[in-house]
Amino acid sequence: MSNIIGVDIGAKGALALLSAAGDLFEVADMPILRDGPANRPNVNAPLLSAIVYRWQASKAFVEFVAARPKEGPTGAFAFGRSKGVIEGVCAAVGLPVAFLTPSAWKREVGIPPGKDGAKDAARSEAIRRWPSKAEFFARVKDDGRAEAALIATAGLLREGRDNGR
């Protein structure tokens, strides 16, 4: 397996490029344009495809999202649209996708369950794993970058365990 991509879905999400050994090469914020109804942010497929194509990965690990409790139909549809755009872009470039639920990838990389402090915990874990790339995760709003890198790591760990049967 060559390089892999981790994807944290959503308007505040990101992508991360890792080697098969888990080395972090690059991160990119989710390419968003506010061109939706009521100026809502949308994942932009052409901009996303430029990143995915340039990175030339062999697989993508993507966070599995679904409607959340107390979420309205507009928010649920936006998440679903983002998932579809990401899946479609990956399919168009021939990139296989594996989905990981938030609880599964967090458990795999040692992030405690629940929402309280999870974003900072992800940034902290990413900085611990890749101290030479700490600047990628320096800002509070860089939690999507951290989560994308950790989703990729969780996918690698899971595949390594599954292939070692």
Write the CATH number for 18: 3.30.420.10
Q: 15 with 7: CB under 8 angstroms? A: yes
Q: Give residue 16's domain range.
A: 4-163
Which of the four pLDDT bands, split at 50, 70 and 90, describes residue 109? Answer: very high
DSSP secondary structure letters along 44-73 = -HHHHHHHHHHHT-SEEEEE---PPTT--H
Domain tally for the chain?
A: 1
pTM score > 0.85 for this model? Answer: yes
Summarize pLDDT for 44-71 with one digit per residue, the tens. 999 999 999 999 999 999 999 876 667 6
Alpha-carbon distances of 124 from 12, 114, 118, rounded to whole Å: 18, 16, 10
